[in-house]
Amino acid sequence: MIVIEKILSEEEVTHYRQQLSKCPWGDGGKTAMGMAASVKNNNQADSSDTKVSQLANQLLSRIGETPKLVSAALPHKIFPPCFNRYSETEEYGYHVDAAVMRIPNTADVLRSDVSMTTFLSEPEEYEGGELIISTEFGQQQIKLPAGYAVVYPSSSLHKVTAVTRGQRVAAITWMQSMISETSIRQNLYQLDQTIQNLIKENNTSRAELDNLHNVYHNLIRQFAKL
């Protein structure tokens, strides 16, 4: 579970919120599959609306431009971001994201390895609405500033608690990683972040950095499934 700080700027969050306020919304439960449909109570922006698809494409581009996110997810395929809204009493009970998803308007499918929630509402704008992720270390509660995102394994049992005041707006997406095994992906992320930190500190020789880069990319070659 990794937090991506300021994937969207304050100005971009304001733009997203303004555009989404003008878009048609529908019952989010109709977009869920299997058992998730019975516990999903929210609204979702109409993905066929031009403004919604433009915002989704903008966020897709930002994913590819965010080194920490690319390092964490190593994405191979990305589901177009969806935008959801929780008003008072609305929630999404415990569920696991579908393992295989069809990319809209295509014949392609992706395996959901990594889920990402991008927060578009400030924490003080609403009460409740926490993202709860069950991990081997217990339940992790996430409620981040607008413009921040969190990525976590799609295999995790998770929920969004009921909003008791205000409104929670967020974007969600899923990625098929080049590395399907969560533990290997986590180790590669830690290795890459260590390399980046050593580069910033500028006290490691170029030869040593080249050796670490060699190990990192050879591990990707070994485990990548394309």
Tell me the binding residues for 2-oxoglutarate: 168
Among candidate residues 99, 54, 100, the one with its CA nearest the CA of residue 80: 54
- Give the number of other Cβ atoms within 10 Å of residue 115's Cβ: 23
Q: How far apart are CA 49 and CA 37, in angstroms?
A: 23
CA 176 to chain centre: 12
Burial of 211 (0-12, 13-18, 19+ CB in 10 A): exposed
Reading the block at residue 189, the tokens are 């992320």
* Residue 6, C-beta contacts closer than 8 angstroms, at least 6 positions apart: 147, 148
Annotated binding site: 95, 97, 158, 168
How many Cα atoms are found within 13 Å in the side-chain-facing hemisphere of 42?
Answer: 27
Q: How far apart are CA 177 and CA 185, in angstroms?
A: 9
Paired sense of beta strands 82-86 and 126-128, if any: unpaired
Annotated binding site for Fe cation: 95, 97, 158
| Residue 69 φ/ψ, nearest 5 degrees | -70, -45
